[in-house]
Structure 1
Amino acid sequence: MSWVEGADESQYSIHHLPFGVFSTRDDPTPRIGVRIADFVLDMRMSVASGTCPGCPTCAALSAPALNPFMSLGRAAWSQVRGQVQESLTNTEFQRSIAQLLVPVSQVRMHLPFVPGDFVDFLASGDHAANLGRIYRPEDVDPLPPAWRHLPPGHHGRAGSVVVSGTDIVRPAGQRRDARGDISFGPSAKLDIEAELGFVVGVPTNLGSPVGADSFADHVFGVVLVNDWSARDIGSFEYKPLGPLNGKSFATSVSGWVTPLEALAAARGAAPEQPATEGYLKESDRFGYDVAINVHWNGTEVSRPSTSGLYWTPAQLLAQLTSGGAALRTGDLFATGAVSGPRPSQAATFLELSHDGARPILLDDGSDRTYLQDGDTVTLTATAPGPRGTTVGLGEVTAMIRPAIG
């Protein structure tokens, strides 16, 4: 039980405590905060009022981004989490800690970590098969040949990772129209990908792969992700190489990073998997049960979930480093679209509209196939928490702005 008003009934209860970076009108300097109910605990002020100035943990919590703190590792993460839980449940601390709580309504959220690299995977077999049926209907097997052997991925642009609330400018690029003509211009098939992302805390050295069982030693927490996609640009440029301009213009993440410890109750068995290469084997094969809601201009259009992903988060990390790539603090890797087998579980508008052939009716009476300028997309997500509670991942929302020029 927490002494903070509304905390016990909140999706941001004492069992969650996500980390973010915020500022206020009175103090525009970004600093680390921990969310509890409808308040943010100012960690910089909390550290300043403590009795251990100069210690590495206190110094890290005084930084303007989570990277220094995330680099300290699991022991420090657990220690700070326990201390915050104690301060928000023990009434002996209520008077002093209450002064450090800022209403969420009064804060501006910033990108919580400085991204190192960004890698996006294709962990969902349903999403991979749906794309195959749309783009390669002549193929007997809709799955790419390598997909059953490894989780495919592509390298994104870390500089295009933005925090929720940041407007997205429609990208431009070369694409082929229905007549086969090639031209350069704004994307006409701007899309979303609802995903779950994982933020790396502890780095590694170049040439040192990370085994699947070491996942929790390196990953600090999770964020909700919308990896925006320009389908017409991407489909033209990805042969013979992977997508570039079709995927590099923006990736939105939630302003709150949920620690892995807060998702312990959301762990569940992953789908059965035939024999894999040794580096992808797990002694404890698990995924996370995160339910995502997709709202388009206020209309709920789909409810994808991460519970059925074939490739697990631990396997994604193992694949990412299997060639010897080094991890850096702040690296972000994501599942790719988490579509399920039913249309209502589509994590992209490409699948939901079958590449524009089946318009989607919105509550205001309009219909859509792909995103129009002025449209707003909001992703929210929940996961089971301990003792019957619910963990609410920070939302990801953005409005589409017209292309420049």
Structure 2
Amino acid sequence: MPEQSPFDLAEGDPFGPHNLPYGVFSTADAPDRRRLGVRYGDSVLDLSALPSALPAAIHPHAELLTAPTLNPLLAAGRPVWRQIRAAVHSAVTDPAHRGEVAPLFHPLAEVTLHLPFEVADYVDFYASEHHATNVGRIFRPNDAALTPNWKHLPIGYHGRAGTVVVTGTPVVRPSGQRKAPADEAPTFGPSLRLDIEAEVGFVVGAPSTLHEPVGLGAFRDHVFGVCLLNDWSARDIQAWEYVPLGPFLGKSFATSVSAWITPLDALDEARTAPPARDFPLLPYLDDAGAEPGGIDIRIEVRINGETVSRPPFSAMYWTAAQQLAHMTVNGASLRTGDLFASGTVSGPDPDQLGCLLELTQGKGPYLQDGDEVTLTAWAPGPDGARIGLGEVTGRILPTG
């Protein structure tokens, strides 16, 4: 039986020509050489070799494609992103290029995938009304579920960029202080309530200038693409430390992201209006009349191979454009490689909750050593195609 060509994809493959996500890979014969790649089906197209194969289409940007990380490409800005995306699309779809491009493919199963970009800053938001309401009811049963500011601004916190890791990286159970309400004093030890948070991350490309806010209309000029993200959370550590300044050590030990960054332009068909808002917004957050800011991404959460939830990203109250606008409204600047995450994605139904805290009403069980968590997702594409987001997987290891 002849070997299948990497150009010939199975019908409905979510990593077809409408997707073309970017990543960084290495091969067994050159493990220390990191190269940019684009996923196409179950293959990786070596972008570092594309300028030689198709010099007319890609030559002006050869230096960007031969870097060992996506950051130079991210910094180049949207016009360049679109030119390179068009050239890659032509490379994998135009029969005239097959002879030059075919040798540039590597089987996905035979490469090692790396963190695709150097993370500059990391911000995590709290943008799901369903999640925030459920958590409020668990922690504040006698008070309003949502805090008074929740529907007026996207709440967030600054995380730790240095502990963002690529899918497949083991997650070691963190230790820290924890104190149950009935305990007289805090104790120290491994987290007993280790949790997940199914989220969507947004990768900043073009930077901004200090003291110049980035408005809603400039979102596409600065955000390069999207990835799945798991914000691992030690709930017992978090509960004891977070008053009054918010998450710290209960979050900063690990955040897992996909090895593939899906370009924002690949999700045009998935654009959708966010849920109706029942509070008036200040002008810098008011997206009435703007292009639909929501994205219809269907997430699936599996623990040890069993599906436990299917959170819908379309249900998020705050959009990524609003998050970016709020993140910079005080004049804070963006840097290439900034990563900001949506916060836990949860929907209105019991099988649409994005963390174990919600799924178990705070009672557990939480993650055990050896458990493996996998996030997958897809979004509607053109002509009925599906746009797949690269999966995020992590296995829990015991405290060292």
In structure 2, the residue matched to 1:305 is 312
1:119-138 matched pairs, under 5 angstroms? 119-138=123-142
Specify the code of the residue in structure 2 equivalent to 1:71: A
Indicate which of 310, 326, 331 corresponds to 1:324: 331
Specify the code of the residue in structure 2 equivalent to 1:161: V
Deviation at 1:54, TM superposition (A): 11
Q: Indicate if the aligned counterparts of 2:271 and 2:292 stay in contact, CA closer than 8 A.
A: no
Q: Deviations over 1:203-241 (max 9, x none)?
A: 011111100111111000000000000000011001111
Specify the code of the residue in structure 1 equivalent to 2:372: T
| 1:14 partnered with 2:10 | no
Q: Indicate if the aligned counterparts of 2:377 and 2:391 stay in contact, CA closer than 8 A.
A: yes
Task: Output the CA distance in 1 between the equivalents of 2:374 and 2:80.
Answer: 33
| 1:386 partnered with 2:382 | yes
Specify the code of the residue in structure 1 equivalent to 2:212: S
Partner of 1:307: helix, strand, or coil? helix
Task: Output the CA distance in 2 between the equivalents of 1:378 and 1:53.
Answer: 37
Deviation at 1:285, TM superposition (A): 3.9
| 1:171 partnered with 2:168 | no
Task: Output the CA distance in 1 between the equivalents of 2:104 and 2:20.
Answer: 15
Specify the code of the residue in structure 2 equivalent to 1:302: S
In structure 1, the residue matched to 2:62 is 58
Task: Output the CA distance in 1 between the equivalents of 2:350 and 2:336.
Answer: 37
Task: Output the CA distance in 2 between the equivalents of 1:133 and 1:178.
Answer: 17
Specify the code of the residue in structure 1 equivalent to 2:245: L
In structure 2, relative to structure 1, the CA distance for the partners of 1:296 and 1:53 (3 Å cut) is closer
Deviation at 1:48, TM superposition (A): 3.5
In structure 2, the residue matched to 1:246 is 250
In structure 2, relative to structure 1, the CA distance for the partners of 1:347 and 1:54 (3 Å cut) is closer
Specify the code of the residue in structure 1 equivalent to 2:94: N
Could you state the TM-score of these two structures normalised by the residue count of structure 2? 0.95
Task: Output the CA distance in 1 between the equivalents of 2:75 and 2:167.
Answer: 24
Q: Deviations over 1:258-300 (max 9, x none)?
A: 0011101110111122321111122234200101111011111
Partner of 2:98: helix, strand, or coil? helix
Deviation at 1:49, TM superposition (A): 3.6
1:181-260 matched pairs, under 5 angstroms? 181-260=185-264
Deviation at 1:51, TM superposition (A): 3.1
Indicate which of 275, 285, 296 corresponds to 2:280: 275
In structure 2, the residue matched to 1:104 is 108
Task: Output the CA distance in 1 between the equivalents of 2:111 and 2:255.
Answer: 22
State the aligned residue count.
Answer: 391
Specify the code of the residue in structure 2 equivalent to 1:36: Y
Specify the code of the residue in structure 2 equivalent to 1:84: V
Indicate which of 92, 95, 111 corresponds to 2:96: 92
In structure 1, the residue matched to 2:395 is 399
Gaps (5+ residues) in structure 2?
none
Could you state the TM-score of these two structures normalised by the residue count of structure 1? 0.94
In structure 2, relative to structure 1, the CA distance for the partners of 1:8 and 1:74 (3 Å cut) is farther
Deviation at 1:52, TM superposition (A): 6.6
Indicate which of 37, 40, 45 corresponds to 1:33: 37
Task: Output the CA distance in 1 between the equivalents of 2:10 and 2:50.
Answer: 19
Q: Indicate if the aligned counterparts of 1:3 and 1:90 stay in contact, CA closer than 8 A.
A: no
RMSD in angstroms over aligned alpha carbons?
Answer: 1.6
Of 308-317 and 176-185, the range deviating more from structure 2:
176-185
Specify the code of the residue in structure 2 equivalent to 1:87: A
Task: Output the CA distance in 2 between the equivalents of 1:382 and 1:9.
Answer: 12
Q: Indicate if the aligned counterparts of 1:285 and 1:312 stay in contact, CA closer than 8 A.
A: no
Of 29-38 and 179-188, the range deviating more from structure 2:
179-188
Partner of 2:313: helix, strand, or coil? coil
Partner of 2:206: helix, strand, or coil? coil
Q: Indicate if the aligned counterparts of 1:290 and 1:305 stay in contact, CA closer than 8 A.
A: yes
Task: Output the CA distance in 2 between the equivalents of 1:188 and 1:90.
Answer: 54
| Identity across the alignment (%) | 53
Q: Indicate if the aligned counterparts of 2:126 and 2:344 stay in contact, CA closer than 8 A.
A: yes
Q: Deviations over 1:4-47 (max 9, x none)?
A: 12165310000000000011101221110011111110000112
Q: Indicate if the aligned counterparts of 2:53 and 2:101 stay in contact, CA closer than 8 A.
A: no
Gaps (5+ residues) in structure 1?
360-368
| 1:116 partnered with 2:120 | yes
Deviation at 1:178, TM superposition (A): 5.4
Task: Output the CA distance in 2 between the equivalents of 1:219 and 1:210.
Answer: 11
In structure 2, relative to structure 1, the CA distance for the partners of 1:242 and 1:14 (3 Å cut) is same
Task: Output the CA distance in 2 between the equivalents of 1:315 and 1:241.
Answer: 23
Partner of 2:109: helix, strand, or coil? helix
Runs of 4+ residues over 4 Å off in structure 1: 52-56
Specify the code of the residue in structure 2 equivalent to 1:229: S
Q: Deviations over 1:155-194 (max 9, x none)?
A: 0000010000000011111110353131111100000000
In structure 2, the residue matched to 1:80 is 84
Of 282-291 and 187-196, the range deviating more from structure 2:
282-291
